[in-house]
Structure 1
């Protein structure tokens, strides 16, 4: 990411981390009503993507982290708890659109 002239690298890193934490709070506390499938269908990413990117960043630094661990760290609970508390059933139409969105935005990231 390009650094602005007046912000040193450490401050920029801290600002980026703060923005990530605020996004996490927004998605995990403020807008639990927004479904992952809707996010994926509209934006091409969801909470699971964010937790996967967290896992990938950890793994790139030599920190062993499983998908389930990353999700629990990001969600602040297990996936089964999240689903029980916040996930609703998705219509057939949403599920079909999700397949397309996943293929366009995620599948290529996970292929070697």
Structure 2
């Protein structure tokens, strides 16, 4: 069994890219899981993932706007996803979100 530390850089990148694609696919399959649920439980959501994608592109000198990054993560324009799948946040969800430290929002 290989240790991660023993993998070459290209293999590490390929595995990380595959894991990212699988995460995006999993989130796409779980449209019932709202972003506020993800934020409350894990401290990140689809929008965070979009921002990280955009930041990673910028680190490589690639200009990608936030809407394009969101479309990559959501699999469609955000406005369409929001109209089709986003539910109004419940009082409980909003209360849990409000109780989080600012750096976790």
Same fold (TM over 0.5): yes
Count of residue pairs brought into register by the alignment: 103
CA deviations over 1:9-36 (Å, ceiling 9, x no partner)? 11111011101100110001x2111111
- CA shift for structure 1 position 101: 3.6
1:17 is aligned to 17
Residue 110 of structure 1 aligns with which residue?
none
Q: By how many angstroms is 1:59 displaced?
A: 1.1
TM-score, length of structure 1 as denominator length: 0.82
Question: In 2, Cα distance between the equivalents of 1:100 and 1:70?
Answer: 28
| 1:71 maps to 2:70 | yes
For 2:81 and 2:101, locate their aligned partners in 1 and report how far apart those are by CA, in whole Å. Answer: 20
Give the deviation of 1:95 after TM superposition. 1.8
Length-normalised TM-score, structure 2: 0.87
Residue segments in structure 1 that go unaligned for 5+ positions in a row: 107-112
5 Å-filtered alignment, 1:25-64, equals 25-28=25-28, 30-64=29-63
Residues 44 and 102 of structure 1 are in contact (CA less than 8 Å); yes or no, is this contact kept in structure 2? no
Q: Quick one: structure 1 residues 44 and 76, their matched pair in 2 at CA, closer, same or farther if it must change by over 3 Å?
A: same
Unpaired segments of 5 or more residues in structure 2? none
